[in-house]
Amino acid sequence: MFQQSCICVLGFFCAVYWIYILYFPFGVSEEKVYLVNTEKTLQVDPMSVSEILKTNRSVFPFMKAKRNAENKTDPCGGRYVYIHNLPSRFNEDMVKECGSINKWVNMCKDMYTMNNGFGPLLNDTEGVLSDNGWYATNHYTLEIIFHSRLKNYECLTDDSSLASAIFVPFYAGFDAARYLWGYNISVRDATSIEIVDWLQKRDEWKYMNGKDHFLVAGRPSWDFRRLTDEESAWGNNFMLLPAVKNMSMLTTESNPHSANDFAIPFATYFHPSYDYEVLDWQDRMMKMERKWLFCFVGAPRPNDPTSIRSLIIDQCKSSGVGKLLDCGVGDKKCHTPSSVMKMFQSSVFCLQPQGDCATRRSSFDSILAGCIPVFFHPSSFYVQYTWHIPKNYTTYSVFIPEDDIRKNISIEQRLSQIDPDTIRMMREEVINMIPRLIYADPHSKLETQDAFDIALKAIIHKVAKLRQEMTDGSTDEDFTEINSWKYALLE
């Protein structure tokens, strides 16, 4: 009896021992998997993408969001966006200090940051605007406009593990602008380093090392890509930081050869609340009588020997069918939106040469007025706003190479050769583009997609594609650009 009891006790302890040996290693492993999915602070070092790929592909930290994207019963399935709750020094405090944002314009005095970044309501001095939705919008407020719109987005979530994309409301353009002149590179780069440090400490960053993050800057990419560390070099180094290269950055002008920044439209003066306001405006622009064959709104660039602006201005002055709105020093008409829109509305073609940058806000204002844009360099439009514009640029614009202008080719003669039927079809295409290039009022929702909707949809698609590649084991760690067709235009 005693011997039988000993055998039973011994058997019991052996069973407990083997259960402990066999079960708990798997229990620890399971705990590591659950740690990846929790919203609590991770106590282990984040796994790299390559390390994750070596594990079971069902345990990616974004699998909850990926499964939700396949949930057809959830109207927000695959559309959720999580917004980082940044310290106010990265956004709101900059707006409060709006007097230092722009060296040439007092953004506070002119109230450009009010009305969700739209600025004050417009005074239609020329009688050329419709009744509602018009504001004196400064294109440098795009961060505020996009952020305000996203705060009213119908598919926001507080659960970052559900998010199809993660928004960083860092006002990078405001930060760059306040230090562009008269500050050393340490000051210019300080906030960039600080925001990256803040992000990398967040659990959300560790999901994909920031590759599901995006932000908006209302300035050209070049303001964030300082070429050297010489004090005289332009801008800061924000977009050159390794962590930032993982994020997607939406700018008013991108580097066409970069894989992590994307151009989105400049903000115009029109921010409608209802679809009928857009339709009425389109109908009005289609019926507009245009007495000038072409026009140019701008100023020369005498300090830039490569600029063709002076040549274009000369052609406008000498032509009987061309019109110039000279934006030289002291001319206030160029800063009066109704005067600019009146010029564009009265012209068939609007000339859009490069200025300080390749792109121009004027391109979007002219399209809004139903004026067919004439470009002189591919970087001014065609290789920039690829999410928002037709790939076939000949359907909505005219391209005249800069070298043709330097050879004194007549703009008037070139444009006069286009037959009326072609002009009519081009104008229709231009006017059809309007809804995709405007930013609607954030407190309303248009049935048609606007510039915000298209940009957000593209970002979500980009993240979804990357996640699928990661789960398939075919992820491209270098974020390779796929729009190779653009590069032929630059040659």
Is residue 255 packed enough to be buried (19+ CB in 10 Å), middle (13-18) or exposed (0-12)? middle
From 408, 435, 462, the end of a domain falls on 435
Q: 135 by DSSP, 3-state: which? A: strand
Q: Contact 162/68 with Cβ under 8 angstroms?
A: yes
- My answer on whether 298 and 360 are in the same domain is yes
Would you state the pLDDT for residue 482? Answer: 52
Task: Give residue 49's identity as a one-letter amino acid code.
Answer: V
Report the CATH number at residue 305.
3.40.50.2000
From 415, 435, 455, the end of a domain falls on 435
Q: Hey, how many other C-beta atoms are within 10 angstroms of the C-beta on 3?
A: 7
User: Can you read off the two tokens belonging to residue 18?
Assistant: 């083997």
- Residue 252: C-alpha distances to residues 255, 283, 369 (Å): 10, 28, 20
Q: Hey, how many other C-beta atoms are within 10 angstroms of the C-beta on 412?
A: 16
Question: Within 82-141, where are the H helices?
Answer: 92-96
Helical (H) or strand (E) element with 310: helix 309-318
Residue 341 lies in a domain: yes
Measured at the alpha carbon of residue 321, what is the angle toward residues 317 and 324, in degrees to the nearest 5?
Answer: 40
Which of these, 393, 400, 434, 433, lies nearest to 416 by C-alpha position? 400
- My answer on whether 422 and 457 are in the same domain is no
144 lies in which domain range?
Answer: 81-267+442-490
In the chain, how many domains are there?
2
Length of the chain in residues, anyone? 491
CB-based burial, 169-180: b 16+ in 10 Å, e otherwise:
bbbbbbbbbbbe
Which of these, 54, 365, 118, 363, lies nearest to 378 by C-alpha position? 363
- My answer on whether 304 and 419 are in the same domain is yes
Residue 200 lies in a domain: yes
Residue 57 lies in a domain: no
Distance, in Å, from the CA atom of 324 to the CA atom of 316, rounded to the nearest integer, reads 6
Residue 18 lies in a domain: no
Distance, in Å, from the CA atom of 415 to the CA atom of 407, rounded to the nearest integer, reads 16
- My answer on whether 309 and 164 are in the same domain is no
Q: Write the Ramachandran bin of 377: left for phi over 0, alpha for psi from -120 to 50, otherwise beta.
A: beta
Distance, in Å, from the CA atom of 372 to the CA atom of 185, rounded to the nearest integer, reads 42
Residue 461 lies in a domain: yes
- My answer on whether 334 and 406 are in the same domain is yes
Q: Which residues pair with 20 in a beta bridge?
A: none
- My answer on whether 234 and 351 are in the same domain is no
Residue 14 lies in a domain: no
Distance, in Å, from the CA atom of 36 to the CA atom of 31, rounded to the nearest integer, reads 9
The 3-class SS string of 349-400 reads EEEECCCCCCCCHHHHHHHHCCCEEEECCHHHCCCCCCCCCCCCHHHCCEEC
The β-bridge relationship of strands 292-298 and 261-263 is unpaired
From 416, 435, 454, the end of a domain falls on 435
Strands (E), 145-291: 165-167, 213-220, 248-253, 261-263
Which of these, 239, 244, 213, 223, lies nearest to 101 by C-alpha position? 223
- My answer on whether 415 and 451 are in the same domain is no
Would you state the pLDDT for residue 71? Answer: 82
Q: Residues 5-49: pLDDT tens digits?
A: 444 444 544 444 444 444 444 333 333 333 333 333 333 444 554
Which of these, 26, 242, 276, 333, lies nearest to 131 by C-alpha position? 276
Which residues, 6+ apart, have CB-to-CB distance to 226 below 8 Å?
185, 188, 233, 234, 235, 236, 237, 240
Residue 37 lies in a domain: no
Q: Contact 415/294 with Cβ under 8 angstroms?
A: yes
> What pTM was estimated for this model as a whole?
0.86
Helical (H) or strand (E) element with 278: helix 275-286
Strands (E), 227-285: 248-253, 261-263
- My answer on whether 93 and 200 are in the same domain is yes
DSSP at 242: T
- My answer on whether 101 and 241 are in the same domain is yes
Instruction: Show the low-confidence residues of the chain (pLDDT under 50).
Output: 1-10, 12-46, 49-50, 52-53, 478-481
Would you state the pLDDT for residue 426? Answer: 99
Residue 354 lies in a domain: yes
CB-based burial, 28-40: b 16+ in 10 Å, e otherwise:
eeeeeeeebeeee
- My answer on whether 331 and 349 are in the same domain is yes
- My answer on whether 412 and 304 are in the same domain is yes
- My answer on whether 261 and 292 are in the same domain is no
- Dihedral in degrees, nearest 10, Cα atoms 165, 168, 173, 176: -130
User: Can you read off the two tokens belonging to residue 253?
Assistant: 């002008």
